Structure 1
Amino acid sequence: MEAFFLPVLSHFQNENFWTASAGRMRYQVTPEEENLAAEVWEGPWGYAFSTVEEKRYFPMTAQGLEELRAWGIAWAEQINARPPRTLEETLAMRAAALERKQAAQAAEEQE
């Protein structure tokens, strides 16, 4: 498996986000007030074309960053242990994710 990498804490304290991959797992970490919001999904698609499998918040501290790292490594192991998908399955996952996002956007516009 590819290494799970996170920048140093000051990267997030300076209000920078981080998006990367570890094998087939994709992840994004965004600073939100005093927390780090972390999201994971299975690739190969980027965030806009995927379904987030879990979003979790960690304190924006050195300990929180280590907890986030352990959580991310566990997710990477889980996602990368899955059997590879066919091209048809991958395209169907992308289409389903787009449909859900479009439906959510339409619902927001109606409110």
Structure 2
Amino acid sequence: MDDREKQEIYAEFNDAVNMTPKELEEWLETEASQNVGWTHEGEDEAVGHKSGRRIVEIKHKKKAELDDDDYAHMKKVVGYVHRHLKQGGPSDGKEHSRWRYSLMNWGHDPLK
């Protein structure tokens, strides 16, 4: 991954993740957060919830501290957020929808 690609990923990630680390940490502690998403067989934590914890770690790092694994996860987050936003969510009741809660686990609140 070259520097130009890292710059693009960094910018896209910071656009896609519109929740602060504190907001995301508080959200991840809620029952709603823990009850959405897909879980790998044999695991207790959903993929999105685990991603949210990783996003908080990334957001607490300085840009110079980010490694290739961080950038790979950031790219994954951007892809997830963009795909799910295109789905548009439910036509009504978005505030308390699984669609919104799943996006929030990935650091994006579509109602912000």
TM-score by length of 2: 0.34
Bigger fraction of residues in strand: 1
Structure number with larger C-alpha Rg: 1
Q: TM-score, normalising length from structure 1?
A: 0.34
